Amino acid sequence: MKRRSIIQGIMAAPLSTALPLSALLARNAMAAEAARPIRTLFIYHPNGCTPNEFHPAAGVNPTLRAQTMPLAKVKQYCTFLDGIRLVGTGDTHEGGSGKVLTANNAPGGAATSSSIEVVLGGLSPTLFKSLQLGVTASFYSDKSISFNGTTRLPYENSPQQAVKTLFSGGGGGGGNSNADQLRVLDNVNKDLTRLRTQLGAVEKDRLDQHAQSFSILQQRVTALGAGAGTGASCVAPTNFYGALPTDGNNLAKVAELSAAQQDVLVQALACDLVRNVSFMYSHPVSQVKVPGHGVGDHDASHTDNAFTPSKVWFMGEIANLIDKMAKTPDGAGTLLDNTIVLLVSELGHSNAHDHYRIPFVLAGGRNTGLVGNRALDFRNGGTGASHGDLLTVIAQKAGYNTITKFGLATGPMQGIW
C-alpha cells in the first residue's frame, strides 16, 4: 500500500464514483488478509546420499527408503525426485557447492553467478531481499552455497543474532508488514489534513466523504497485526533466549540450534519479512556428529551403511520444519500452502562424489500447485534431467515468470507440476 497511490486515488476519483477510496482501501485490506505470496525455501543437507537408500521407486504413495523414512510424516506434501544432475563445470564437494543453487559453472567451487534465492529476492518487494540461515553452516568460511554474483555469502548461525537482525525494534518491519501499513495510513492522514487546507469546497467534500475509511482500515490492519486474518503475530520468537550459546557453530548443540533456527525461519516467512530463503544444515565436507551417532558426517558418507544414521537425523529435522510450516497459519491456509520447499545437496552418491541422482525433494501445500505423495524418476537411461531446469520451474511457479532460463537451464522442467 503506497502513500502516493492512495492520495492519487482520492484526487482522481469523481464524486459520482460509488466507492472511490473505500474500494481502494478494501482491496488493500483483503490483499493483506487473503492474498498471501508464494515463498521459496531451499534446504541444504550435507554430503549427498546413498542413492538406493534415499530415492524411493517412482509412483504414487511411494515406499520410502531408509534414508528418507523420517519424511513419512510429511509425505503427503512431498515429491521425491530421482535422476537429476547438477549442470555446469566443477566437481566433487567444492564444485557442487558452487553449482547447486546457481545452476552455473563453478570451477574449483568458485561460482560465476548469483544463487537462486538471491536472484528471486532481487525481484521481491520485502524488506529483506533474501535470507541465509544455517545450523553450524559457517564452521568453515568457504563452504557456503549462496552467492551474490561471484561473492560467497555467509550464513547466520546464531539464532540470537538472526532475531536481532530480522526483528529489531520488536515486530515485523517487512515491506508489506502490518506495522508498515499502519505507518503509511498515519502519514496519509497527516498529508490529507495538510491538503485539506489548500482545497476548495468540492475537493474538501471528497476528502470528508472517505475520512472514516481510514479509521476502518486502521482497525483492520491492527487486528491483522495481532494475528487475525494472517494467523501470525509478527513478533520476535523468544522461547530460546538465554538457553543457547551465542556461538552458532557449537557442534554439541546442533539439535537445539536446529529447533531455534527453525522458529526464526518460520516467523520471518510468516511475517513476510522475506520470501526467498536458503537454509543450510551444516556444510559440504561436514564433520558434525549428529545426536546418537558417533561418526562425523563426512567420514560416515564414505561408507554407505554408516551414512544412514546421519542422513536420517537431518531428514528428521527437515520433516519437523515442514510439519511446523504446515501448522503455521498464513492467510486462509498455512505457511506451507504458500511455500515451495526444495531439499538440496552438493553431491549425488556420497562415496562416489558424483553430481548425478542428487537427493532433491520438493514439498509444498495447496497454493503451490504441487501434488505430493509421489516419487518421480528422471534418469532416462542415465542422462538425467538438468537441475537448472528444476530451479527455473520453481522460480516460475513462485510467480517469477520473467525467469525463463536460470543459469545453464534449457527451460522450465516438465513433468513435475
252 in a structural domain: yes
Owner of C-alpha cell 500500500: 1
- In this structure, of 203-212, 309-318, 405-414, the range with the lowest mean pLDDT score is 203-212
41 phi/psi in degrees, rounded to 5: -135, 120
The DSSP call for residue 27 is H
What pLDDT is stored for residue 195 in this prediction?
64
Residue 70 shares a structural domain with residue 143: yes
Output helix, strand, coil percentages for the chain, rounded to the nearest 5. Answer: 45, 15, 45
Q: What total number of domains does the chain contain?
A: 2
Q: What is the CATH number of the domain that holds 293?
A: 3.40.720.10
Phi-psi region of 405 (alpha: psi -120 to 50; beta: other; left: phi over 0): beta
* Measured distance CA(78)–CA(92) in Å, rounded: 27
404 in a structural domain: no
- Single out the residue in 225, 257, 292 at which a domain terminates: 225
The three cell numbers of residue 218 are 486502521
Q: Around Cβ 273, how many Cβ atoms within 10 Å?
A: 22
Q: Is 60 helix (H, G, I), strand (E, B) or coil?
A: strand
Q: pLDDT digits over 397-407, tens only? A: 999 999 999 99
Residue 20 shares a structural domain with residue 85: no
415 in a structural domain: no
Burial of 14 (0-12, 13-18, 19+ CB in 10 A): exposed
Q: Around Cβ 371, how many Cβ atoms within 10 Å?
A: 14
Residue 215 shares a structural domain with residue 290: no
408 in a structural domain: no
Residue 369 shares a structural domain with residue 271: yes
Containing structural domain, residue 12? 3-33+178-225
Question: What does the buried/exposed string (b/e) look like for 302-333 if buried means 16 or more CB atoms within 10 Å of the residue's CB?
Answer: eebeebbbbbbbbbbbbbbbbebbbebebbeb
The pLDDT-based confidence of 62 (bands split at 50, 70, 90) is very high
Q: pLDDT digits over 29-42, tens only? A: 444 445 799 999 99
74 in a structural domain: yes
pTM reported for the whole predicted model: 0.80
413 in a structural domain: no
53 in a structural domain: yes
What pLDDT is stored for residue 211 in this prediction?
52
* Measured distance CA(252)–CA(232) in Å, rounded: 32
Q: Span 292-307, mean pLDDT?
A: 90
Residues 6+ apart with CB under 8 A from 278: 41, 42, 44, 101, 115, 117, 130, 131, 132, 133, 145, 146, 155
